[in-house]
């Protein structure tokens, strides 16, 4: 079994760290030494000057509830009790329920007469204390007292020296009072004795290491915070800054309590500072680990954890110190601390297991953090050394920093490589565009020339449809040629290879020629195009071809964003130039977009993208204007239209009278659109097999589609917008909807989603056409509800076959629905058949005339039910009425007085409706409405002529329906497939909704009867 690499690295890092720990522990280990026994420590024969400091851990004397100095203690050899130091004094305090109390520790230390001076070192004294040696107070912290009101706490570390003189012993008294910590009182940490030199050396090393570690952490915190200010998106830098700051706070708030030397903190806040620093460290470490890994996974658990620890930190800030001690002595802080550490280490392991780049640095940091936490936990319960160990903390921080720097340098190198690659590919792109444009240009112009020659021949012969098709082909070819020219111009402008052929030009003649090209483009739009150029306008110095190109791009842009209103081209003379303006009343341009609208490939708005183009027109126009020595600017407000202004140098010579043109009359393009729509009327065949609704905002595309399908037996209705298509859907029945995706106002996707709210995929297939074939666009089309998706340019053979397949699918579904209705009607329920036959047999013995009439009605019912017309799409209403009357006659004979029928229909009515729509509703009213009551009831059948159509109602005063029953009866697919009962209502509702856009309307409430109605519009024959 192969061991994963990250496991080997983890074990290696942990081994190295433990090796450093072992070396450190060996270097600063406390030597074996005598321990105090019954209040006496015998150090005679122990050389304090040569030995390392030793602890005073052992059995001390203790007098509870008394604060005694050496002068007052006349019986130091016989204290009240003996107590283990370090440790909590609760068991030594009489009847103590907590560690609150006061008392005096006694220790007699016997030294060699040669010892001239001894030093005492305490890293942390609990609450308040007074240290007395041989009657001399050597240290005092706070104010020990017998009452909490007189007591003042203070916590600190200290080193003090004492010369025993001629005496060879030290009588040590430590007076302590505690009214803050209910769980830990007395001497809770070890005291050390040794020579002043040895203690000073070890303590100095420990304090220096703490200062160095604090400085390193603080520097990392500062540089991370400064980097975050420059890169606000990198929030992990801010987290790292807080993490290192919290770690630094743990270093100076614990051990030798350096924080007290720098800040004037009281006892309460030094306790809180330590607790807050450790909790904050855990939170920020987990936040940092999650930012490196996947921040989405475990989000809910992290939010819960962060909420808990944030509440805990808030509690630490506001709670009294006694409550803080209560919280610290529960298992909750430890759980929160180790939970975050464990989760962080697990995330680092997962990153290493996933072989993420530079994850080994994070693994090293994780092992360092884990080693520091575990070793700190062990050392707090069993002091192995009293010298601060900094390697784990520094190694962890450097691991995180190394990961970041490595990532930064790698990203920097990748960016540099990508930059060089981008420059190279940009050059290749330009060359590719030039080559492609040149390669496309020749065959395209050949196609245009051939189409033009064919069009001329066809016009000479008959001037028929073929000639119009060739003209359409030429228009499309010229549009493609214009796009190719734009691509070539972009490269030429970039390489400064365009040379202008300037000559004096009349703006009036140029503008009128360009306006003429836009007549066809404005088809279907209620747009007026005006020319406002005064007579006698000076000529301009310009390249005619390039000036036409500039004006064409500006007018094309104006027409694209003006659905209704006016577009005006005006000009006026200035001192050294001629100012031409192209104004429109369209959608306008926002201030933000105006700053970048002349950039290459900039389209700006969703409407621009949906309207087609590649965003080069305005950029080319601006650069060409500047080549002429002029300037192109824009003024616009959203919703108020736009004005593009061009300044061109004027010609010095006087304007020629024959070059000026009279003022142009207003062109209203509604007339042109009307004439075009006449030309676009669908081609009717002797037998139309399908009705197709084609939607495209470009009339050229619609004409191309109609031309491609002209030889097919289709009835094609063009629509210039999605809104117009929705209007056609509300008035007629269709077999296929063909829609372009890129349409203004409402895209093909939005149109598809709207249609799908009414028609299912099987009820109305939708074929989307677009020039984009990116996977995301195709997915969006199918998710919107499209049945098929074809990219442009479309191959005619492929399109015809796809349309044919979709139409066959639609008509097959329609046929299935009609056959389903006929089948349901043909499935006469056995109990109805048996009951009717039984009624006939009974009447044969009672009343033969009634038997004969009932038999005739039954035969008519069977014949009508099985009639072939039931499989047709539409039938005469008389057929439905005859079937319903036969059914009701049978039921009336069977149930007599329990069933009353009221007919309210005109004597003469001539409408067509889907087969088997009225009888199933009557049967439902009889069976589930009237006859569900013991007393029976009445069924009303009404047919009412209304404006725009006919209303048919079937009402009963039966048991009624609950709202959920109504919803279940009309739902499709059935929410409860195993629920008893037929699907007659559902089938009828679906067929009516598909044909007319609205199905059954059911008004009912329990005990109040039911009214079912539907409306048949005055449509033409839908067969």
CA distance 821 to 916: 7
Cis-peptide, bond into residue 101, ω within 30° of zero: no
- Chain segment 986-1015, per-residue pLDDT in tens: 777 877 877 777 788 898 888 888 999 998
Residue 905: C-alpha distances to residues 802, 877, 951 (Å): 46, 11, 11
Q: Which residue has the higher pLDDT, 675 or 468?
A: 468
> Looking at residue 934, what is its pLDDT?
81
Return the minimum-mean-pLDDT range out of 277-281, 446-450, 948-952.
446-450
What does the alpha-carbon distance between residue 196 and residue 120 come to, in Å, rounded to a whole number?
A: 8
DSSP for 88-146? --GGGSTT-SSS-EEEEEEEEEE--TT---EEEEES---SEEEEEETTEEEEEESB--S
What is the average pLDDT across 766-779? 64
672 pLDDT above the threshold of 70: no
Sheet containing 158-162: order of strands: 54-55, 191-194, 118-122, 158-162
Nearest by Cα to 588 from 580, 597, 579: 597
Q: Does the bond joining 462 to the residue before it have cis omega, within 30 degrees of 0?
A: no
Q: Which of 601-610, 765-774, 959-968 has the lowest mean pLDDT?
A: 601-610
Residues 6+ apart with CB under 8 A from 313: 276, 279, 280, 283
Mean residue pLDDT across the chain: 77
d(Cα 187, Cα 127) in Å, to the nearest integer? 10
Q: What pLDDT shows up at residue 222?
A: 92
**Cα 120 versus chain centre, distance:** 64
Instruction: With cut-offs at 50, 70 and 90, classify the pLDDT of residue 963.
Output: confident
Q: Hey, which of 271-280, 649-658, 813-822 has the most confident mean pLDDT?
A: 271-280
**pLDDT at residue 612, as a whole number:** 46
Question: How confident is residue 60, by pLDDT bands cut at 50, 70 and 90?
Answer: very high
Question: Cα angle vertex 520, ends 515, 523, to 5°?
Answer: 115
Q: Which residues pair with 943 in a beta bridge?
A: 952
3-state secondary structure 748-812: HHHHHHHHHCCCCCCCCCEEEEECCCCHHHHHHHHHHCCCEEEECCCCHHHHHHHHHHHHHHHHH
Q: What average pLDDT does the segment 22-43 reach?
A: 84
Q: Are 645 and 580 in contact (CB under 8 A)?
A: yes
Residue 696 phi/psi, 5-degree rounding, is -165, 135
% the chain with pLDDT above 70: 75
What average pLDDT does this structure show over 565-581? 88
Q: How many CB atoms lie within 10 A of CB 901?
A: 18
pLDDT in tens, 523-539: 556 788 888 888 788 88
Q: Are 557 and 569 in contact (CB under 8 A)?
A: no
The pairing of strands 101-110 and 502-505 is unpaired
Burial class (CB in 10 A: 0-12, 13-18, 19+), 431: exposed
Higher pLDDT, 785 or 386: 785
Q: Give the angle subtended at the CA of 512 by the CAs of 511 and 517, to the nearest 5°.
A: 95
> What is the pairing mode between strands 949-956 and 937-946?
antiparallel
Q: What is the mean pLDDT of residues 162-190?
A: 86
Collect all residues with Cβ–Cβ distance below 8 Å to 620 and sequence separation of at least 6.
486, 489, 490, 493, 549, 553
pLDDT tops 60 at residue 965 = yes
Could you read off the pLDDT of 81-128 as tens digits, one per residue? 899 988 888 888 887 778 898 999 999 998 888 888 888 888 777 788
Please determine, for residue 473, whether its predicted confidence score (pLDDT) is greater than 60: yes
Among 405-414, 450-459, 625-634, the least confident range: 450-459
Q: 841 or 957: whose pLDDT is higher?
A: 957
Find out whether 778 and 771 touch, Cβ atoms under 8 Å: no
pLDDT tier, 307 (very low <50, low <70, confident <90, very high otherwise):
very high
Average pLDDT of the residues in 942-953:
87
Mean per-residue pLDDT, 118-144: 85
Q: What pLDDT does 105 receive?
A: 92
What letter would DSSP give residue 489?
A: H
Q: What pLDDT was estimated at residue 333?
A: 83
At residue 660, the 3 state secondary structure works out as coil
How far is Cα 372 from Cα 746, in angstroms, rounded to an integer?
Answer: 63
Considering only residues 653 and 736, tell me which one the structure prediction assigns the higher pLDDT.
736
Tell me which H or E stretch contains 1017: strand 1010-1017
pLDDT beyond 60 at 517? no
Residue 621: which pLDDT band, with cuts at 50, 70 and 90? confident
Q: Specify whether the backbone of 588 is left (phi greater than 0), alpha (psi in -120 to 50) or beta.
A: left
Burial 804-825 (b: 16+ CB within 10 A, else e): eebbebbeebbeebbebbbebb
Cβ-contact 372, 399 below 8 angstroms: no
Rounded Cα distance, 515 and 529, in Å? 8
CA–CA separation, 250 and 203 (whole Å): 18
Whether pLDDT at 838 is above 70: no
Say whether 828 sits in a helix, a strand or coil.
Answer: coil
Each residue of 879-936: pLDDT tens digit? 788 888 888 888 877 788 888 888 888 878 888 888 878 878 888 888 888 888 888 8
> What value does the mean pLDDT take over residues 136-145?
87
Q: Which residues of 190-204 are buried (b: 16+ CB within 10 A; e: fewer)?
A: bbbbbbbebbbebbe
- Residue 167: DSSP 8-state: -
Residue 607 has pLDDT above 70, yes or no: no
Query: How would residue 268 be classed by pLDDT, with cut points 50, 70 and 90?
Result: confident
DSSP code string of 26-89: HHTPPPP----BTTEEE-TT--TTTSPPEE--EEEEEEET----TTT-S-TTS-SEEEEESS--
pLDDT range class, residue 870, cuts 50, 70, 90: low
Neighbours of 167 (CB within 10 A): 11
| Angstrom distances, CA of residue 743 to CA of 487, 597, 796 | 24, 21, 22
> Is there a contact between 878 and 917 (Cβ–Cβ < 8 Å)?
no
Cβ contact 139:148 at 8 Å = no
Average confidence (pLDDT) over 306-325: 88
Q: Give kind and range of the element (H or E) at residue 904.
A: strand 899-904
Can you tell me the mean pLDDT for 617-645? 86
How far is Cα 280 from Cα 340, in angstroms, rounded to an integer? Answer: 10
Residue 677: pLDDT band (50, 70, 90) is very low
Chain segment 290-300, per-residue pLDDT in tens: 887 777 788 88
* CA atoms of 609 and 626, how far apart (whole Å): 26
Neighbours of 130 (CB within 10 A): 21
Three-state SS for 296? Answer: coil
pLDDT of 610 strictly over 50: no
pLDDT the model gives residue 527: 82
pLDDT tens sequence across 392-445 = 888 888 888 888 778 778 877 888 888 888 877 777 766 666 666 666 666 666
Q: Name the more confident of 500 and 434.
A: 500
Q: What kind and span of H or E run contains 930?
A: none
Long-range contacts, 420-423 (Cβ 8 Å, 24+): none
> What's the average model confidence in pLDDT over 268-273?
85
Q: Using N-to-C axis directions, what is the helix angle for 748-756 and 722-729, rounded to 10°?
A: 20
Q: What share of the chain is helix, strand, coil (3-state, %, to 5)?
A: 50, 20, 30
Confirm if 513 and 548 have CB atoms less than 8 A apart: yes
Q: How many CB atoms lie within 10 A of CB 676?
A: 18
DSSP reduced 3-state for 358? coil
Q: Sign of the CA dihedral 557, 561, 563, 566?
A: negative
d(CA 749, CA 138): 87
């Amino acid at each position: 079994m192969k061991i994963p690499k990250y496991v080997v690295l983890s074990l290696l890092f942990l081994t190295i760290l433990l090796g450093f720990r072992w070396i450190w522990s060996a270097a600063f280990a406390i030597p074996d030494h005598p321990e105090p026994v019954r209040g006496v420590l015998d150090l005679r024969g122990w050389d304090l000057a040569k030995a390392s400091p030793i602890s005073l851990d052992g059995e001390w004397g203790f007098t509870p509830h008394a604060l005694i100095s050496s002068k007052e203690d006349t019986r130091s050899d016989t204290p009240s009790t003996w107590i283990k130091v370090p440790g909590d004094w609760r068991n030594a305090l009489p009847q103590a329920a907590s560690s609150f109390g006061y008392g005096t520790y006694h220790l007699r230390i016997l030294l060699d007469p040669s010892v001239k001076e001894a030093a005492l070192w305490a890293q942390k004294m609990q609450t308040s204390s007074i240290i007395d040696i041989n009657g001399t107070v050597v240290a005092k912290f706070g104010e020990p007292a017998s009452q909490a009101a007189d007591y003042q706490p203070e916590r600190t570390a200290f080193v003090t020296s004492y010369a025993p003189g001629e005496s060879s012993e030290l009588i040590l008294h430590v007076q302590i009072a505690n009214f803050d910590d209910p769980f830990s009182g007395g001497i809770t940490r070890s005291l050390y004795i040794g020579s002043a030199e040895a203690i000073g050396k070890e303590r100095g090393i420990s304090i220096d290491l703490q200062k160095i570690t604090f400085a390193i952490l603080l520097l990392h915190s500062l540089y991370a915070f400064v980097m975050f200010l420059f890169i606000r998106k990198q929030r992990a830098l801010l987290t790292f800054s807080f993490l290192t700051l919290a770690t630094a706070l743990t270093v100076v708030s614990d051990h030798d309590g350096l924080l007290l030397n720098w800040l004037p903190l009281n006892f309460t806040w030094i306790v809180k500072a330590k607790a807050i620093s450790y909790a904050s460290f855990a939170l920020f470490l987990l936040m940092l680990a999650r930012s490196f890994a996947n921040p989405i996974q475990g989000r809910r658990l992290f939010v819960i954890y962060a909420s808990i620890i944030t509440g805990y930190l808030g509690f630490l800030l506001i709670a009294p110190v006694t409550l803080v001690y209560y919280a610290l002595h529960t298992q909750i802080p430890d759980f929160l601390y180790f939970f975050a550490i464990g989760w962080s280490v697990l995330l680092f392991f997962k990153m290493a297991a996933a072989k993420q780049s530079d994850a080994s640095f994070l693994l090293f940091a994780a092992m360092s953090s884990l080693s520091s936490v575990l070793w700190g936990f062990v050392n707090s319960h069993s002091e192995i050394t009293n010298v601060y160990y900094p390697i784990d903390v520094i190694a962890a921080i450097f691991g995180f920093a190394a990961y970041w720097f490595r990532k930064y340098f790698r990203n920097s190198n990748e960016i540099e490589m990508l930059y060089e690659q981008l420059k190279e590919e940009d050059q290749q792109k330009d060359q590719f565009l030039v080559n492609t444009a040149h390669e496309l240009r020749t065959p395209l112009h050949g196609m245009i020339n051939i189409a033009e020659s064919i069009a001329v021949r066809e016009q000479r012969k008959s001037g028929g449809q073929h000639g119009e098709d060739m003209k359409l082909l030429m228009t499309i070819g010229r549009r493609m040629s214009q796009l190719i020219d734009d691509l070539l111009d972009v490269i030429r402008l970039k390489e400064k290879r365009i040379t202008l052929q300037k000559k004096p030009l009349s703006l009036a003649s140029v503008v009128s020629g360009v306006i003429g090209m836009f007549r066809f483009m404005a088809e279907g739009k209620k747009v007026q195009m005006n020319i406002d150029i005064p007579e006698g306008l000076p000529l301009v110095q310009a390249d005619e071809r390039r000036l036409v190109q500039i004006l064409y791009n500006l007018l094309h842009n104006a027409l694209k964003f003006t659905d209704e209103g006016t577009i005006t081209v005006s000009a006026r003379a200035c001192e050294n130039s001629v100012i031409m303006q192209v104004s429109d009343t369209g959608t306008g341009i926002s201030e933000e977009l105006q700053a970048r609208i002349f950039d290459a490939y900039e389209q700006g708005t969703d409407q621009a993208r949906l309207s087609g183009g590649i965003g080069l027109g305005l950029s080319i126009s601006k650069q060409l204007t500047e080549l002429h020595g002029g300037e192109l600017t824009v003024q616009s407000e959203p919703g108020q239209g736009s004005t593009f202004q061009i300044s061109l140098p004027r010609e010095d010579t006087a304007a020629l009278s024959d070059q000026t043109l009279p003022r142009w009359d207003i062109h209203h393009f509604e007339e042109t659109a009307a004439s075009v729509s006449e030309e676009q009327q669908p081609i009717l065949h002797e037998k139309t097999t399908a009705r197709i609704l084609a939607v495209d905002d470009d009339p050229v595309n619609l004409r191309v589609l109609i031309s491609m399908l002209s030889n097919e037996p289709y009835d094609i209705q063009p629509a210039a917008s999605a809104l117009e298509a929705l209007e056609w859907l509300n008035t007629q029945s269709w077999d296929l909807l063909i829609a372009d995706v890129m349409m203004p106002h409402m895209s093909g996707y939005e149109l598809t989603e709207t249609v799908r709210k009414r028609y299912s995929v099987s009820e109305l297939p939708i074929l989307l056409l677009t020039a984009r074939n990116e996977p995301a666009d195709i997915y969006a089309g199918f998710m919107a509800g499209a049945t098929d998706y074809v990219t442009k340019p479309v191959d005619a053979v492929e399109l015809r076959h796809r349309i044919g397949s979709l139409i066959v699918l639609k008509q097959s579904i329609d046929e299935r629905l009609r056959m389903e209705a006929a089948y349901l009607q043909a499935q006469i329920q056995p109990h109805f058949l048996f009951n009717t036959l039984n009624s006939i047999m009974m009447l044969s013995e009672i009343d033969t005339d009634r038997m004969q009439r009932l038999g005739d009605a039954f035969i008519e019912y069977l014949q009508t039910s099985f009639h072939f017309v039931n499989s047709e799409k539409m039938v005469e209403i008389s057929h439905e009425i005859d079937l319903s009357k036969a059914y009701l006659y049978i039921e009336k004979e069977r149930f007599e007085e329990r069933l009353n029928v009221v007919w309210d229909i005109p004597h003469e009515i001539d409408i067509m409706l889907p087969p088997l729509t009225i009888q199933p509703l009557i049967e439902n009213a009889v069976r589930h409405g009237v006859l569900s009551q013991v007393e029976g009831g009445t069924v009303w059948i009404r047919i009412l002529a209304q404006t725009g159509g006919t209303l048919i109602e079937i009402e009963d005063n039966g048991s009624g329906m609950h709202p959920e029953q109504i919803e279940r009866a009309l739902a499709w697919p059935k929410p409860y497939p195993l629920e008893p009962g037929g699907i007659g209502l559902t089938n009828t509702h679906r067929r009516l909704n598909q044909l007319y856009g609205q199905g059954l309307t059911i008004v009912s409430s329990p005990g109040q009867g039911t009214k079912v109605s539907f409306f048949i519009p005055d449509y033409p024959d839908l067969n």
